Structure 1
């Protein structure tokens, strides 16, 4: 039976915006990536990070509990000629069972907030090289432009349509995910931590890592503006487990039509802008 994560996979691969190039430049600098390293992408989804890192390192292990996400990643890797990615079904609680070689860098999306914050760094301590580290990449939602500065911003339009079809979204928290690994999708609302709660979540992340073996913690942030068409925004909603095709069922067509109608009524121009902050929190062992 299809799960929300499985049915969201093709939309996730197509419509999720990529992380900025500055992220990969930072990882290259901090971990001296020169084509000889081995990287673990935990909660990899369809390889959003893995596919970019594959050009910078020798081997990538992309781990996710959802087979459909891994299948999308494998398809994209074949299209791009990336042959140095191993797609493994697994989760954050079973790193030891994966029998991985020594890892130089573990990259995790915002799914870190749905993993066990104490157990995960301890598990990684046993597989990461002495100078290795963890990079947690989080997206914090920013402002969205309303039509000519009037009325609600377009995310409120999306939220209203989603609420009519699916009910109100649960509040983002930091407890364990119902997804086995907190994999490609870290919350029912998607991969953005909203407003002040997002900033508090980032501080909580730093505090948790600082109490682990990887206690040297530093966060770098970048602001980026995104522009989406109506079709891209509709696809983005279908990439989220909460509003995935499996959740919508036979209402999927009606949902797509209503969302397009509401967005174009909000702004007939058909282009929607938003500013987000991408944060990379890098944790390494203290130098002796």
Structure 2
């Protein structure tokens, strides 16, 4: 069982969502159409794959965690979207997988072997195609005043090794030029969409369980104690048990 197996049932509904405006903006920027094929590496429950499905003709999702693929399969059925799912690490995709006009990657780059991934991308990306490195997260510029304390509580309860790995993922996203250095690819444009929504204190607390560093598997018997800690912190920022959250959704376009 992989480290995200215990997060699959929560991930789809509790992570900061990608709004429909995000997918529309990126699709317009790239000129996507029914003639395009897209592959989502590290697809998880299929958030990116299904978000872009309405703008392309064929979508493939790849993930090593069976529980995540089960969630993606259920979400695709619910949305009435055709989605081909492949279990396994992206780096081990068969050579005959073909090429794609768009390769999407969410917060998964830091889990992939860099050299193998760069070689894979070189053969996956069709002529004139693009890589999209995407993220959706709570704004960190002070508009979510509850966030620093929330993350500090997560850090306090998380095993140190797993928290360090989570930090590595953030650093990878912030320094994509370093990741692609020496490859045929380089980051070009950044698409950013900001939205706001209300989220319940309970859901925001439960969101902590969707991260590998504070998943039920990582916390063991400390799950309930951490949730109480988080809910206690969030209470002072809430109104009628809900909190306003500003979300930033980004897509770094990477091309040859």
**1:205 Cα deviation (Å)?**
0.6
Q: CA separation of 1:164/1:110 partners in 2, compared to 1, >3 Å: closer, same or farther?
A: closer
Q: CA separation of 1:30/1:263 partners in 2, compared to 1, >3 Å: closer, same or farther?
A: closer
RMSD: 2.9
| 1:168-179 matches, cutoff 5 A | none
The answer to whether the 8 A contact 1:227-1:273 is kept is yes
Higher helix proportion (structure 1 or 2)? 2
What TM-score results when the alignment is normalised by the length of structure 2? 0.84
What is the match of residue 67 of structure 1?
66
Q: CA separation of 1:242/1:129 partners in 2, compared to 1, >3 Å: closer, same or farther?
A: same
What TM-score results when the alignment is normalised by the length of structure 1? 0.76
Q: Which runs of 5+ in 2 are unaligned?
A: none
What is the match of residue 97 of structure 2?
100
Q: CA separation of 1:227/1:206 partners in 2, compared to 1, >3 Å: closer, same or farther?
A: farther
What is the match of residue 224 of structure 2?
253
Q: 1:111 aligns with which of 104, 108, 112?
A: 108
What is the match of residue 11 of structure 1?
10
Q: Distance in 1 between matches of 2:127 and 2:141?
A: 40
Aligned length: 254
The answer to whether the 8 A contact 1:109-1:138 is kept is yes
The answer to whether the 8 A contact 2:26-2:191 is kept is no
**1:73 Cα deviation (Å)?**
0.7
Q: Distance in 2 between matches of 1:156 and 1:167?
A: 18
Deviation track 1:247-272 (CA, whole Å, cap 9, x = no partner) reads 222332333333323321x3352333
| 1:77-226 matches, cutoff 5 A | 77-82=76-81, 84-95=82-93, 97=94, 99-139=96-136, 141-145=139-143, 153-166=145-158, 187-188=165-166, 193=170, 201-202=173-174, 204-209=175-180, 211-215=182-186, 217-226=188-197
The answer to whether the 8 A contact 2:159-2:213 is kept is no
